[in-house]
Amino acid sequence: MKALNGSSAKQGSISVLIPVRNEELNIAPLLNSIFEQAIRPDEVIVIDDHSDDQTKAIAESYGVTVLSAPALPEDWTGKNWALWNGYLHSRGEILVFLDADVRLHRNALQTLVSERQRQGGVISVLPYHQAHHFYEKFAMLLNMLMVFAFASPFERSNRRKGLFGACIVTTRKDYDTIDGHRSIRSKLLDDMSLGERFQQAGIRVTNYIGGEVIQFRMYPDGMKSEVEGFSKEVALGTASFRILTIIPMVLWIVCLIAADSFLFFIGTPYFVPLLIAYSLYVLQFFYFNRYIGSFGVVHPILHFLSTLFFFVILVLSVYQSFIRRRVMWKGRYIDIGRGGTQ
């Protein structure tokens, strides 16, 4: 997976589509960053998915187009429905889908358009994770695993290769070819499902890491939203990757757990080797965090905290995905069996 860098002139009219549901803490910083772009989009459309906070009013104060999503049909998920309605009101030749928690460097839009033209097909970006509070940094291991999975050489030819939903860029023509979000209307993992649909249509999928160009702050409103956000997709998302991608990741995690247990072996011959392994993992986290996110000093050194958080999320995700068969997100239950809501 490549780092996002480079720029070029604007290519075609651009529509930026932003689905929102209770994003009053995020929408203003995103819109500010859009208005500071070196090239300005031709239109910005914010689609409000029945927010009950100040999200809609804040977006309207910026003078962008703000749509209220119609009542959610039973066989649609909220984000897919919002983006489909935004698309129906858009006019751009290039469609840029952004989550509300994204923040753009001044040259980000220019770079995205340039890279999409150079690569062809559809591109997406995993933003650099700006984690401010202590609880936000528990996501360190999960972020690293996402990069490992998408960067795997075994995923290059995977016909089920997904996209990162936070930032997706495609042409209107390619989006029309797959019937856009209507073709995945009931899918909980909209980004993974959309990438698969593009692949099936013979449209190339390319993923990047955002670096300084595109960043996000995922869960500024508390631990509850962080747990809900990650647990709704971890177990289901794994199924989209090839087994040759999953096996090395599982082995890496098993060795991580062994290293994290070094304190239990004080006074035994295993203590020193496990301590060395633990230290090597610390160095790995520090190295990869330069590209993945701002997770500070404490979490890489005490990375067993991130490991524990990962397993809590994994257990909760498996329970919700395969036993309970529905998840909670943004105050709405999503039925995984039907894809609708209750």
Q: 275-330: per-residue pLDDT in tens?
A: 999 999 999 999 999 999 999 999 999 999 999 999 999 998 888 877 777 766 66
Q: pLDDT band for position 341 (50/70/90)?
A: very low
What is the percent of the chain with per-residue pLDDT over 90, rounded to a whole number?
A: 71
Distances (CA, A) of 132 to 92, 183, 220, 248, 341: 35, 37, 8, 30, 32
Q: pLDDT band for position 11 (50/70/90)?
A: low
**b/e burial code for range 179-189 (CB count within 10 A of at least 16 → b):** ebbebbbbbbb
Decide if 299 contacts 305 (C-beta within 8 A). Answer: yes
Q: 136-152: per-residue pLDDT in tens?
A: 999 999 999 988 988 88
Q: 180-203: per-residue pLDDT in tens?
A: 999 999 888 899 999 999 999 999
pLDDT at residue 338, rounded to an integer: 45
Q: pLDDT band for position 158 (50/70/90)?
A: confident
Across the chain, what does the average pLDDT equal?
A: 90
pLDDT at residue 84, rounded to an integer: 97
Residues pairing with 126 in the sheet: 209
Q: pLDDT band for position 342 (50/70/90)?
A: very low
Question: In the predicted model, is pLDDT for residue 336 greater than 80?
Answer: no
Q: Which residues contact 159 (CB under 8 A, 6 or more apart)?
A: 196, 199, 200
Q: 219-248: per-residue pLDDT in tens?
A: 888 898 888 888 877 766 776 788 888 999
**pTM here?**
0.89
The amino acid occupying position 151 is: A
